[in-house]
Amino acid sequence: MRLPRVLIWLRRRWRGLAAVALAAPAATTGAIAATLPEDRSELMFHSYDGGGVKATGPAVLVRKSLASRVSLSAGVYVDAVSNASIDVVTTASPFKETRNAYDLGAEFLVRDNIVSLGFNHSKEPDYVAQTASVDVSQEVFGGMTTVALGFSRAADKVGQRNTPGFFDKATHWQYRVGVTQILSPRWLASANFEIVADDGYLGSPYRAARVFGAAVPERNPRTRTGRAIKLRTIHETGALWSGSSLRAEYRYYWDTWAIKSSTWEIGGAKRFGERWIVDASVRGHSQDKALFFFDNAQAETTYVSRNRQLSTFTTTSFSAKASYEVRGLLPTGYEMKVAGVYELKRFRFKDFTDVRTGAPYRYDATVLQVLVSIAY
Amino acid sequence: MRRLLLSLTALSLVALAGCATEPWVKPYEREKLADPVMQWSRFSLPDKHREHIHSIREGARGATGVQGGGCGCN
């Protein structure tokens, strides 16, 4: 049977037409809306005080864009740590040390995509960590949906106080994917999934485990793979209370050390006048212990640890933040804000005892952050 | 015949693209989403510090949206 001329023409050009068909949906929905973060500088003083550990210091971040296509950032973070935690005071002597961390970042706007490159270098007397990361995000579906992919690799060198050099190393990989969706003119939701894989020395040379009541060096596996999935949503609630919003999030984590944890957070924000924004939130975290965690092991096992971070415990946190826009101090074109954050964190351990009292260990920690932010 | 069917399928996809679900929130309806109270994070440094505390004081990691480096914090 001889085909009509038009069908013969279509049969010869099907590859080109297929390419157009695949491109057409993107062409009809793509309005370039991705934007780089705004230029700003932040100066913060931070403080953590709880469980015998005090860590305070300044942090600085500067961000500047070039030709509206690239945004460069650089940051410095200092932790002056005074450590008299329960592990330290029951097995050794309190100590002080300073950790300095440096961040460099570059974000490139390429059509609907933002490509972010990041580098972090953290140094303390007995631990050096270097992390490189790349993240790509793209707005699709008319800017309603943002899809993000990311990868990080970190290489650590592990040392010990009063011992020259480094005795071991650790490597970490992180793979992440996320989707943010506009659900309505007042409602956003996002889902994030991340895999964290570790290889190498994953313990602490200062921490002891307890087997049959005697202190022994802890023995941790040299690999660990964790997965986390986080769902969160934020809704503008101006109809109920002018200039306000509510948000909620939930993360579930599980790993090859048999730790399973649930973390949830509920919070809200409210504008008061033109210059004040106040935030408040409550966060809860609960986790099961690692397979080889024992408060006082009653058998010899290949791996054994008494690291309280791997035990069964809950954390409840209450946080309040207030920010204020300062006007008249800087020339036109600059926007200055000051902010203060206070957080109370309550740690309650179920199977880690305070050897000084024999009771399950518990402590409260306070976090304080004071910040000046200038956008230009 | 196979190539003819493929050509018709491709053409149908092009035509149906016009009938695909349109974004139901138009760009001019998104002003509320740009409100500072609707941002996941308004300041970078406090959020990064907060996630750093969580990662070293708790056993769970990841999916926080904050990338940072490691440390020997114990």
* Pair A366, A344: CB distance under 8 Å: yes
Touching check for B50 and chain A: CB below 8 Å? yes
Mean pLDDT for the stretch of residues A321-336: 93
Number of domains in chain A: 1
Q: Kindly report, residue by residue over A285-326, the tens digit of the pLDDT.
A: 999 999 999 999 999 999 999 999 999 999 999 999 999 999
pLDDT tier, A30 (very low <50, low <70, confident <90, very high otherwise):
very low
- For A14, which of B10, B17, B29 is closest by C-beta distance? B10
**Which residue(s) pair with A281 in the sheet?**
A267, A319
A85 touches B: beta carbon within 8 Å: yes
Residues A170 and A266 sit within 8 Å (Cβ to Cβ):
no
Tell me how close the Cα of B48 comes to any Cα of chain A, in angstroms. 10
> Which of the residue ranges A7-11, A97-101, A188-192, A249-253 would you say has the lowest mean pLDDT?
A7-11
Specify the pTM.
0.85
**Which residue would you say has higher pLDDT here, A150 or B20?**
A150
Domain total in chain B: 1
Position A272 scores a pLDDT of 96
Does residue B46 lie in a domain region?
yes
Q: Tokens 């972090």 appear where?
A: A120
A129 and A151 in contact (C-beta within 8 Å)?
Answer: no
pLDDT at A262: 98
Q: How far is B34 from chain A (nearest CA, A)?
A: 10
Whether B45 maps to a domain, the answer reads: yes
Interface test with A, best of B1, B31, B57 (most A CBs within 10 A): B57
Say if residue A105's pLDDT is above 60: yes
Assess contact for A106 and A123: CB atoms under 8 A: no
Distance in Å, alpha carbon of A315 to nearest chain B alpha carbon: 9
**In chain A, positions 206-245, which contact chain B (CB-CB < 8 Å)?**
206-207, 226-230, 232, 234, 236, 238, 243-245
User: A282 at the B interface (CB within 8 A)?
Assistant: no
Chain A 321-360, CB below 8 Å of chain B: which residues? 321, 323, 339, 341, 343, 345, 347
Closest CA of chain B from A67, distance in Å:
23
**Measured between CA atoms, how close is B10 to chain A, in angstroms?**
5
- Residue B38 domain-assigned (yes or no): yes
In angstroms, rounded to a whole number, what is the distance separating the alpha carbons of residues B59 and B48? 17
Report the CATH number at residue A66.
2.40.160.40
Higher pLDDT, residue A142 or A137: A137
Q: What is the pLDDT of residue A87?
A: 81
A-B C-beta contacts closer than 8 Å:
237
Residue B33 lies in a domain: yes
Q: Does residue A369 carry a pLDDT above 90?
A: yes
Identify the band that residue B57 occupies on the pLDDT scale cut at 50, 70 and 90.
very high
Write down the ipTM of this complex. Answer: 0.86
Q: In the predicted model, is pLDDT for residue A26 greater than 60?
A: no
Query: Which among B32, B40, B46 is the nearest to A185, CB-wise?
Result: B32
Q: What is the pLDDT of residue A73?
A: 96
**Pairing assessment for the beta strands A187-200 and A208-211 based on DSSP bridges:** unpaired
A323 with B37: Cβ contact below 8 A: no
Asked, for residue B26, whether it belongs to a domain, the answer is yes
SS3 labels along A155-224 = EEEEEECCEEEEEEEEEEEEEEEEEEEEEECCEEEEEEEEEEEEEECCCCCCCEEEECCEEEECECCCEE
What is the pLDDT averaged over residues A130-154? 94
Q: Are A140 and A104 in contact (CB under 8 A)?
A: no
> CB distance from A188 to chain B under 8 Å?
yes
| Residue of A14, A59, A251 with shortest CB distance to B3 | A14
Is B46 close to A341, i.e. CB distance below 8 A? yes
Note the pLDDT tens digit of each residue in A147-181. Answer: 999 999 999 999 998 888 999 999 999 999 999 99
Q: Which residue has the tokens 């992440």?
A: A176
Residues spanned by the domain of B47: 20-58
B19 touches A: beta carbon within 8 Å: no
Confidence of residue A4 (pLDDT cuts 50, 70, 90): low
Q: Is residue A43 over pLDDT 90? A: yes
Segment holding A345, helix H or strand E: strand A335-353
Asked if residue B63 belongs to a domain, the reply is no
Q: Please check whether residue B5 touches A, CB under 8 A.
A: no
Q: The tokens of A198 are what? A: 């570790």
- Whole-number percent of chain A with pLDDT over 90: 78
List, in sequence order, every residue forming a beta bridge with A304; answer none if it has no partner.
Answer: A219
Is B27 within a domain?
Answer: yes
CB of B63 within 8 Å of a chain A CB? The answer is yes
**How far does the CA of residue A151 sit from the closest CA of chain B (Å)?**
9
By percentage, how much of chain B surpasses pLDDT 90? 24
Is residue B51, in this structure, part of any structural domain at all? yes
* Best to test chain A binding among B4, B11, B32, B37 (most A CBs inside 10 Å): B37
pLDDT at A42: 95
> Is the Cβ pair B10, A17 closer than 8 Å?
yes
Q: Which domain holds residue A318?
A: 5-375
Q: What distances in angstroms separate CA A181 from CA A113, A185, B67, one per listed residue?
A: 16, 11, 21
* pLDDT value of position A8: 64
Q: Do B45 and A81 touch (CB under 8 A)?
A: no
**What is the 8-class DSSP label of residue B29?**
G
